[in-house]
Amino acid sequence: MLLKISTTYSPATDLGYLLHKHPARIQSFELAFGQAHVFYPDARPEKCTAALLLDVDPVALVRRPHGRFAENFALAQYVSDRPYVASSFLSVAIARVFSSALSGKCKERPQLVDTPIPLKAELSILPCRGGEKLLRQLFEPLGYTVTAEQQVLNPHFPDWGQSRYFSVALENTCRLSDLLTHLYILMPVLDDEKHYWVGEAEIEKLLKRGEDWLADHPEQEAIARRYLKHQRHLTHEALAQLREEDAQENDEATQAEKETEVEGQIGLNNIRLTTVTETLKQAGAKRVLDLGCGEGKLLRQLLAEKQFEEIVGMDVSHRALKIAQERLHYDRLPEKQKKRIRLFQGSLGYRDKRLTGYDAAAVVEVIEHLELPRLAAFERILFEFAGPKTVVLTTPNIEYNVQFENLKAGNFRHKDHRFEWTRDEFQSWAAGITKRFGYTVVFHPIGPEAENVGSPTQMAIFTRKIDK
């Protein structure tokens, strides 16, 4: 199986830097299922071509202890097309051999990484279940010019007709990391097959690699369905997260500013974060979660406090997490600090093992972004399954909204808020939680208090009654 990547960017041999593979050398890599070789059939300043030759070992495939081909159909030992076609094996090889390029990292040419350059990918044999039509539907919306030549099933017997195999060229002016990412995801989608077990982790992979383009792709449903091997619950979850994120991203950029504008006059955000940090300190927490951490303002405060030995930020939005990482200057943090903090993508709509075992969780201005019918799931995920000793949770107090001069009567503070609660509503919701999950609760106002309407933010501090 051969993948060729060419550029006419000048000097074209810079492709060697972007791929982290020297054009003059042949390099080989051992993979679980065979070998990958990288070499350059052409390396001139005007045009440079890198080739990734994947030599899948059919015997190793059959011998793999959990090799599904071996288990599922013995005939596959004799007639498997796997060694010869572009498939999830090639995706794995790309991730392994070109990992820095796939992630868009290049120390020698940092600017070039982000520069769209003319690129062409050629795949000798690409299986396309769904034919040329699907091939075009997948790549053309991403800006590719697609050339495809369908292979006959057997050249000796033309009557047998066409096969599902195509020789394909894809041309685009884009970043190399985009090209590799699109291939990485879309090859197994076209093949509609994966050589390994597909579970929850694949959702994360799909959303991470699809971050910049999947939410806008007209075929996102087919992509998710096929990538996740038609497992309905996984597909459903992936699409839900994608939509959630998409809605937020469209909104958040403009709306976050608006909310800051509304609340900004009274410097509420800072007061809120300082209060939450103090509360977590008072609770004696050492290992803390910031759920719906957004762009990481609270994380920054927590990092400045030595008491917190382990700090984890989770958010559904990849974009927010990326900004958080930049704001924390994560890459430049000393090793000791880096070890204290971790960010990951996840949704409060789904039970998540990664959230168990912490002393405390902060959920600051997040619940009002959840759909009311999904609040019950959130409650179990946090209070029953994750079960931290302390939960510090804040949400707007709607009664206070009349005090904001620049907020139209009846409007929420943020377009993405699904609800805002009065003090009574919040307190009776919290009381329900204490009963169902064995916590106690106390309430604190945050921000300047006004007569009759209270403070702009309301905070609940939940404490688990019994040690887990």
Stretch that binds ligand SAH, among 15-23, 124-132, 345-353, 458-466 (CB under 6 A): 345-353
Q: With binding defined as CB under 6 A, does residue 317 bind ligand SAH?
A: yes
* CA–CA separation, 246 and 174 (whole Å): 22
> Residue 195 in contact with residue 89, Cβ under 8 Å?
yes
Q: With binding defined as CB under 6 A, does residue 386 bind ligand SAH?
A: no
* CA–CA separation, 456 and 398 (whole Å): 8
Transcribe 126-171 into DSSP letters: EE-TTHHHHHHHHHGGGT-EEEEEEEES-TT-GGG-EEEEEEEEEE
* CA–CA separation, 388 and 288 (whole Å): 9
Please say which residue, 173 or 255, places its beta carbon nearer to ligand SAH.
Answer: 255
CA atoms within a 13 Å half-sphere pointing along the CA-CB vector of 262: 23
List binders of ligand SAH among 362-381 (CB under 6 A).
364-366, 369-370
Nearest to 396 by CA among 377, 369, 375: 369
Stretch that binds ligand SAH, among 75-83, 277-285, 292-300, 445-453 (CB under 6 A): 292-300
Please say which residue, 279 or 317, places its beta carbon nearer to ligand SAH.
Answer: 317
Please say which residue, 242 or 366, places its beta carbon nearer to ligand SAH.
Answer: 366
Please say which residue, 235 or 241, places its beta carbon nearer to ligand SAH.
Answer: 241
Nearest to 271 by CA among 252, 298, 305: 298
| Residue of closest CB approach to ligand SAH | 294
User: Would you state the structure tokens that stand for residue 194, as one six-digit string?
Assistant: 């994966």
Residue from 248, 277, 397, 457 in contact with ligand SAH (CB under 6 A):
248
Q: How far is the CB of 319 from ligand SAH (least distance, A)?
A: 8
Q: Which residues pair with 56 in a beta bridge?
A: 34
Nearest to 149 by CA among 128, 118, 179, 180: 128
Residue from 127, 349, 387, 456 in contact with ligand SAH (CB under 6 A):
349
Stretch that binds ligand SAH, among 49-57, 359-367, 438-446, 452-460 (CB under 6 A): 359-367
Q: With binding defined as CB under 6 A, does residue 242 bind ligand SAH?
A: no
* CA–CA separation, 142 and 119 (whole Å): 13
List binders of ligand SAH among 296-315 (CB under 6 A).
297, 315
User: Would you state the structure tokens that stand for residue 123, as one six-digit string?
Assistant: 């795949």
Q: With binding defined as CB under 6 A, does residue 420 bind ligand SAH?
A: no
Q: How far is the CB of 186 from ligand SAH (least distance, A)?
A: 27
Stretch that binds ligand SAH, among 40-48, 93-101, 347-355, 422-430 (CB under 6 A): 347-355
Residue from 207, 268, 316, 360 in contact with ligand SAH (CB under 6 A):
316
Please say which residue, 71 or 216, places its beta carbon nearer to ligand SAH.
Answer: 216
Please say which residue, 219 or 315, places its beta carbon nearer to ligand SAH.
Answer: 315
Please say which residue, 122 or 365, places its beta carbon nearer to ligand SAH.
Answer: 365
Q: With binding defined as CB under 6 A, does residue 352 bind ligand SAH?
A: no
Nearest to 121 by CA among 84, 191, 188, 174: 174
Residue from 119, 126, 203, 320 in contact with ligand SAH (CB under 6 A):
320
* CA–CA separation, 467 and 266 (whole Å): 39
Transcribe 345-406 into DSSP letters: E--TTS--GGGTT-SEEEEES-GGGS-GGGHHHHHIIIIIII--SEEEEEEEBGGGGGG-TT
CB-based contacts of 271, cutoff 8 Å, min separation 6: 446, 447
* CA–CA separation, 199 and 146 (whole Å): 31
Q: Which residues pair with 312 in a beta bridge?
A: 289, 342
Q: With binding defined as CB under 6 A, does residue 293 bind ligand SAH?
A: yes
Please say which residue, 101 or 348, places its beta carbon nearer to ligand SAH.
Answer: 348
Q: With binding defined as CB under 6 A, does residue 292 bind ligand SAH?
A: yes
- Total site size for ligand SAH, rule CB under 6 A: 17
Please say which residue, 194 or 417, places its beta carbon nearer to ligand SAH.
Answer: 417
* CA–CA separation, 7 and 173 (whole Å): 9
Q: How far is the CB of 284 from ligand SAH (least distance, A)?
A: 22
Binding site for ligand SAH (CB under 6 A): 248, 292-294, 297, 315-317, 320, 347-349, 364-366, 369-370
